[in-house]
A and B are shown apart, each in its own frame.
Chain A
Amino acid sequence: MDMFLMFVKAFVIGGAICLIGQIIINFTHLTNGKILVLFLVIGAVLEAFGWYGKLVKFAGAGASVPISGFGYALVHGAVQAAKQDGVYGALSGGLAACAMGVSIAIVSGYIVAVLFHPHTKKN
């Protein structure tokens, strides 16, 4: 039952974050890149006050999977490392925390580019 509740929370919170994004797109026609950066920065700034971490604890993947969770992970990693190693940590902790996601994206991007053929967009 606990597990089921966690799925529901992840679905609702994750869906709600995307819904907010869609509302912003509907009214401002921001491009995808700008939307991604906007949500990333929102997540990062919220984590500066420790708020996004609470949302991650509550909703699990519902908060960590949206791109705002990427911003959260960057700030969380940087702040944790800074508390341990000072300036060295502040500069290295963020990327270290996100290294896996970024590396997987780059490597799988390369693999896909080698193996697949571009699909022409039919609009």
Chain B
Amino acid sequence: MAMNGEITRDNYKAYVFEKMPKSSHWKNMIWAFLIGGTICAIGQGFIFLYSIWFSTQDASVLASATLVFIAAMLTGFGVYDKIGRFAGAGSTIPITGFSNAVVSPALEFRAEGYIYGVGAKMFLVAGPVIVNGVTVSVIIALLTLLFGG
């Protein structure tokens, strides 16, 4: 489709879609599987490590927290975004992707100051995640109370 005639929102979207560099779906999927799996396996390693001192549940929380911290540092060094370029969902969906989504805009918008730059932009992606997560969890918990799940 060439860009002739009127540009509407819909045909512009189709135009962009067509012009986007086509990366191989298969290659994307394999990378997502490998990187996502590796991040989870590293998490499992931390669970085993923390299990020496803590209960399994606490170890699991601490393992996720460790991954969040490591991903934040890697984002600072600009490494995480490099991984994300080929890992796709493999780097987005693990908790490390959440961490990246918090840290990346915080760093990016530092120039706008620590209150409205770092403080506000940090929640660009984390905000929707926390808002939706908390809302759904409260509704489910209340329903469980009502119907005695």
C-alpha spacing A104/B36, complex, angstroms: 21
Which of B124, B133, B143, B145 is within 8 Å of A74, CB to CB?
B133
**Which residues of A are found within 8 Å of B29, using beta-carbon distances?**
19, 22-23, 26
| A44 and B95 contact, CB distance less than 8 A | no
Whether the Cβ atoms of B95 and A119 lie closer than 8 Å is no
Which residues of chain B are within 8 angstroms of A14 by Cβ–Cβ distance?
Answer: 36-37, 39-41, 43, 94
List residues 106-120 of chain B with CB under 8 A from any CB of chain A: 106-108, 110, 114, 118
Partner of A75, one of B38, B48, B132, B141: B141
Contacts of A6 in B (CB 8 A): 44, 48
The interface residues of chain B lying within 8 Å CB-to-CB of A78 are: 137-138, 140-141
- Interface of A: prevailing SS: helix
Contact A116 B88 (CB under 8 A): no
CB pair B106 A36 closer than 8 Å: no
Which of A29, A39, A112 sits near B93, CB closer than 8 Å?
Answer: A39
| Contacts known (A74-B137, A78-B141, A104-B65); A60 close to B92, Cβ less than 8 A | no
Q: In the complex, are the beta carbons of B122 and A109 less than 8 A apart?
A: yes
Q: Is the CB of A10 within 8 A of B89?
A: no
Which of under 10, 10 to 19, 20 to 34, or 35 or more describes the interface residues of B? Answer: 35 or more
**Number of residues in A with C-beta < 8 Å to the partner?**
83
Q: In the assembled complex, which residues on chain A have CB atoms less than 8 Å from the CB atom of B136?
A: 40-41, 44-45, 71, 74-75
- Determine if B53 is an interface residue (Cβ-Cβ < 8 Å): no
Given A26-B25, A60-B60, A105-B98, A74:B32 Cβ within 8 A: no
A108 and B72 form a contact (CB under 8 A) = yes
Q: Are B98 and A67 in contact (CB under 8 A)?
A: yes
CB contact under 8 A between A21 and B102, given known A14-B39, A64-B43: no
In the complex, A79→B33 CA distance in Å?
31
Interface string of A107-123 (1 = CB under 8 A from B): 01111111111110100
Chain A residues in the interface with B (C-beta under 8 A): 3, 6-7, 10-19, 21-26, 29, 32-33, 35-37, 39-41, 44-45, 47-48, 56, 59-62, 64-71, 73-75, 77-79, 81-83, 86-87, 89-91, 93-95, 97-98, 100-102, 104-106, 108-119, 121
Q: A22-B33, A109-B118 are in contact. List 16 more A-B contacts (CB 8 A).
A: A13-B40, A17-B36, A33-B128, A33-B129, A36-B92, A56-B60, A65-B40, A66-B36, A67-B97, A68-B93, A74-B136, A78-B137, A79-B149, A100-B61, A105-B103, A116-B77
